[in-house]
Amino acid sequence: MPLGMFVNPLPKLTADHLLQFDFPCDKKDPYCAPGTFQNIDLTAPGIEQLYGLLGTPKKEQGHPLICEEAPVEQEDPYSQDQIIDIDRKAIICHSGRLSGNMVRFLACDHVKSTVKIVAQPQTTNGPVVSIDQRTVSLVPQAGAPNVWFWKDANKRDELLYTAYVEFDPKAKGLEAENVYKLILRWEFYDHGGKCKERLPISGFDETVAFEVISQTVTI
């Protein structure tokens, strides 16, 4: 019987037929779609004790990346810019992985994933803002953003997806001088029956916060 995994994970779990879901981070061998940023490393002792090395092969766990769209201003970091100007577009990247010897049996049209990206206000009582939501099948495509693709098409034991969105903070309804919690939720469904069925695979990340500030000022 296949074994699914929710994140929160179980790093020491072993099984003969395993399916795991995680957010891999590997500086030497990037786990992300071409043309996107890979997950960032926010390693801390408490996080490592809980999450440790996950997936097959085991990888350190990464977190969503947020930055302003190029060209990057001189005062801004190249990646992980958590202070976003209200008048400049921003980018969010986050990569998830399904791994293990059961993955190939999920790589079909009737199994679909939904990735939801929202911003929850932390300094006001405003509404949660939806930044992006996409539902796609697990049919492997060529490596690209917002599709599932094989890490190695010959092995077929690691299926990757990089959630990638470019967004206008003002157009989405974000407010200047407010801090937001960035939340990404990953859900999986089987659409093969009369109604879709939630699968026992899931994950979320709410590690990253960001601030939206007033329009750019040249000093």
Per-residue pLDDT tens for 154-206? Answer: 999 999 999 999 999 999 999 999 999 999 999 999 998 888 899 989 899 99
Contact predicate 80/25, CB 8 Å: no
Tokens of 181: 């919690």
Give start and end residues of each alpha helix (H) in the chain: 45-51, 169-172
Helices (H) and strands (E) in the chain, counts: 2, 13
Rg for the chain, CA atoms, rounded: 18
Q: Which of 14, 101, 9, 16 is nearest to 60 (CA)?
A: 9
More confident residue, 152 or 58: 152
Tens of pLDDT, residues 119-164: 999 999 999 999 999 999 999 999 999 999 999 999 999 999 999 9
Average pLDDT over residues 58-65: 90
Four-CA torsion 82, 183, 162, 10, nearest 10 degrees: 120
The span from the first CA to the last CA of the chain, in angstroms, equals: 62
Instruction: Inform me whether the pLDDT recorded for 70 exceeds 90.
Output: no
Give the pLDDT of residue 1: 27
Give the pLDDT of residue 118: 98
Give the pLDDT of residue 41: 82
Tokens of 79: 């990646």
Report the C-alpha gap between 207 and 84 in whole angstroms: 17
Report the C-alpha gap between 109 and 111 in whole angstroms: 6
In the block, residue with structure tokens 């790093």: 11
Give the pLDDT of residue 87: 93
- Is residue 160 helix, strand or coil? strand
Report the C-alpha gap between 124 and 86 in whole angstroms: 17
At residue 6 the predicted structure's pLDDT band, cuts being 50, 70 and 90, is very low
The reported pTM is: 0.83
Give the pLDDT of residue 128: 97
Find out whether the peptide bond into 121 is cis, omega within 30 degrees of 0. no
More confident residue, 43 or 153: 153
